[in-house]
Structure 1
């Protein structure tokens, strides 16, 4: 079951009202992969607002409050400028707007790399102030100690290997990773390190397909692909990319809608009616009676 909507007559906004149901849990997500197989692939999309969460919740197993909000919401050039306060504000909104999905919040750049202790302080804030179920952090073997530190203290962690956007300067861009044997071996080792450290799942981003397939087959935890392979245990996309909000998107994105065109057309019609004084009409004004 998912969310139904009641109309708040004082604000004319839809607010979610939970049906009798239970939210999915991190252990349930992890158990979806059994004996190396995931019978029903996991569905994950990004969400940044309560309303967006309401609309996506019924269709997803997980909602990711991604640091991609820096570019999608704030118009920043990369994810590096995203702050912990930003992630917490949007994470709390998504939790309020959902009742079914496991909500996972990205740890932003600079909030966890210094030490496991720094990571714990940041993650504890995120968990306490948003109500989310887990955090996600980038990095493989280099972050294994930090992942283990968090998991041992009750904070579920999703890993992220391959193309890691927070390391865009070190990587030299957003190109696909794993084209050399050395890089291939490193990504596979990173996936194993993340699993061994206790992560419940791992995002595999922007890698050549054989790496994604090899990791999915070798890991006991679910793999979530983005620019990886349909053979991964699940998939994630940035929702705005999938809906067609932007003209330019990575090659691995499939557009399932053309929402930018819909918004532009609606704004054009609104502007026309305002300028010709046909809006507001009789239905939108209050009479003196």
Structure 2
């Protein structure tokens, strides 16, 4: 599949649904790239890959390291890198860190969380040659400030704010937008209010595409399964079964047999 560009991604709006999946390493990037329009190097790696309880302790060094690996594994796939917590609190810091991503990796864009309040940051980045993916709705990096992970769009006031956020991020120059943890009917209204693609996660089917964390999608992450996640594979059980079979064969001397020796 030919690598998409920003222009071709935007042309998918109203034509076909976009497929985005997270990836953190070259191995899974290679496996997932055949089915993905976009790979997101999400700061969710801090949880499923790093074993932490949230995303907040992710660093630029980590994101750059994992982005380098993903780009090596999927050189023909459009890649977006999450900007971790605390790396875009002002225009100067945001640009310095985004420039690091561009200089040290082949990543095609960066993603930052926030609505109208972050539009000035999006504008500053895009005016300096950085492609930006926005992220509105439930913001994992803000969960402490909001007292937990809360679904958005439950009131008309929240719905109108989300629409305003999406329009502000678009006007600031973002080429695509992720909307997370939002009532499905409201997410549909948001997608209809802007001309850029809106990618949903826990936001229903009325948007322009979907993104899932690969370890959730493959059933590899056991501590918690969000309501919006469909597991397309019972990955954890399959891996455990394979490891147990290997252990049994090692213990009883069955492996390696004559087929696996020099």
Same fold, judged at TM 0.5 (above): yes
* Alpha-carbon distance in structure 2 between the residues aligned to 1:184 and 1:172: 20
* Alpha-carbon distance in structure 2 between the residues aligned to 1:30 and 1:123: 22
The answer to whether the aligner puts 1:173 opposite 2:153 as a matched pair is no
* Alpha-carbon distance in structure 2 between the residues aligned to 1:102 and 1:246: 25
Q: Who is 2:53 aligned against?
A: 77
Instruction: For residues 1-60 of structure 1, give each alpha carbon's deviation from its aligned partner in whole angstroms, at most 9, with x where no partner exists.
Output: 3xxxxxxxxxxxxxxxxxxxx522122111222xxxx21100000000001111111111
The answer to whether the aligner puts 1:44 opposite 2:20 as a matched pair is yes
* Alpha-carbon distance in structure 1 between the residues aligned to 2:59 and 2:122: 20
Contact 1:57 1:99 in 2 (8 A): no
The answer to whether the aligner puts 1:205 opposite 2:185 as a matched pair is no
Contact 1:159 1:201 in 2 (8 A): yes
Q: Who is 1:152 aligned against?
A: 127
* Alpha-carbon distance in structure 2 between the residues aligned to 1:128 and 1:218: 34
The answer to whether the aligner puts 1:107 opposite 2:83 as a matched pair is yes
Contact 2:184 2:206 in 1 (8 A): no
Corresponding residue pairs, total = 261
> TM-score, normalization: structure 2?
0.97
2:236 pairs with one of 239, 242, 260: 260
Q: Which runs of 4+ in 1 moved over 3 A?
A: none
Instruction: For residues 223-265 of structure 1, give each alpha carbon's deviation from its aligned partner in whole angstroms, at most 9, with x where no partner exists.
Output: 0000002110010000110111123311000111111111000
Q: Which runs of no fewer than 5 residues in structure 2 stay unpaired?
A: none
* Alpha-carbon distance in structure 1 between the residues aligned to 2:211 and 2:7: 19
Contact 2:27 2:73 in 1 (8 A): yes
> TM-score, normalization: structure 1?
0.88
Root-mean-square deviation (CA), in Å? 1.1
* Structure exhibiting the larger radius of gyration computed from Cα positions: 1
Contact 2:39 2:80 in 1 (8 A): yes
Q: Tell me which protein shows more strand as a share of its residues.
A: 1
Q: Who is 1:228 aligned against?
A: 203
Give 1:183 deviation, angstroms.
Answer: 2.2
Instruction: For residues 83-104 of structure 1, give each alpha carbon's deviation from its aligned partner in whole angstroms, at most 9, with x where no partner exists.
Output: 0000000001111111332100
